[in-house]
Amino acid sequence: MNIKQTNGYKAIADGIWFKNPTFVMVLGICSTLAVTNRVANGIAMSLAVLFVTVFSSVTVSLIRKIIPHRIRMAVYTVIIATYVVIADRYLKAYWPDLSQQMGPYVALIITNCIIMGRAESYASNNNTWLSFLDALGVGFGYAFSLLVISVVREILGFGTLMGYHVMGQNWTPWLVMAMPPGAFIVLGTYIWILRSITKHPSGENL
C-alpha cells in the first residue's frame, strides 16, 4: 500500500503542513507571538507544547469511552493542566533562566486552543496510536512555525542566532523586531507567504 494513503501519514502531514496549527489554522497565537523573540525560547516552548499535546492526546484517547459527554471539556482542561504543571516544574528545575524569561506563558499552554482542539476533534474519537501520531504532527507543525518566526526575529532584532553574533560588527539591530509589533508583522507576513504557496482558500471563513 502506498504510504501516502495511510491514516498515520495523513495525520502527521496534516499537522506539519496542510493544517499547520499556526500558519493555516491560526490557533494558539498567544504563545507563538510572545516567546519568539529568541530562538532558544522558541525551542523550549515548542518542546513543552509537544510534550503536553502528545501526552494529553494519548490520555484523552485512552479514556475517551469513560468520559461523560457533558463535562468532557472540563475533563480535557484538567488533563492538559496536569501535564502543563509537569512541564513547568521540569523547566523551573533544569532551565531556570529560560523559565524566568518565558514567565507565565508556559502556564498559558493550558488555554492553548491547539491542544484543546486536538483533544476535542481528534483524540476523542480516534484510537490511541492515531491520536499519538496526530499530536506528534501538530506538535512538530507548531515547532516548525515557532522556529521560522524566531530565526527571523532574533537575527533582525538582536543580530544573533542562538546567542552567537551572525550579522557582523556594523549591524544595527531592528529593535522593533524584538518587541511586540515585530511579532505581529513577521507572523502576518509568513501567513501571507504560506497561503500564496499552498493556494489555501482565503481566510475569510476563519
Partner 1 sequence: MNLFTILFASLFTSNIALSYFLGMCPFIALSRDIRTAWGMGCAVTFVMAVTAAINWPVYHFLLVPFHIEYMQYLSFILVIAVSVQIVEIIVERFFPVLYVNMGVFLPLITVNCAILGISLFMILRDYSFIEGVFYSIGGGVGWTMAIIAMAGLRSKLTFSNIPEPLKGPGITMIIAGIMSLAFMGFAGIAGL
Tell me which residues touch partner 1 (CB under 8 A).
Answer: 26-31, 33-34, 73-74, 77-78, 81-82, 84-85, 88-89, 103-104, 107-108, 110-113, 116, 176, 179-185, 187-189, 191-192, 195-196, 200, 202-206
C-beta of 71 vs 166, nearer to partner 1: 71
CB 139 within 8 A of CB 48: no
C-beta of 39 vs 84, nearer to partner 1: 84
C-beta of 86 vs 167, nearer to partner 1: 86
C-alpha cell recorded at residue 178:
524584538
C-beta of 112 vs 126, nearer to partner 1: 112
| Least distance in angstroms from the C-beta of 172 to partner 1 | 18
| Least distance in angstroms from the C-beta of 204 to partner 1 | 5
CB 162 within 8 A of CB 42: no
Neighbours of 27 (CB within 10 A): 20
With residue 165 as reference, give the H or E element that holds it. Answer: strand 164-165
| Least distance in angstroms from the C-beta of 2 to partner 1 | 30
DSSP structure class, residue 153? H
Spell out the residues 6+ positions from residue 46 whose beta carbon is closer than 8 angstroms to its own: 139, 142, 143, 146, 147
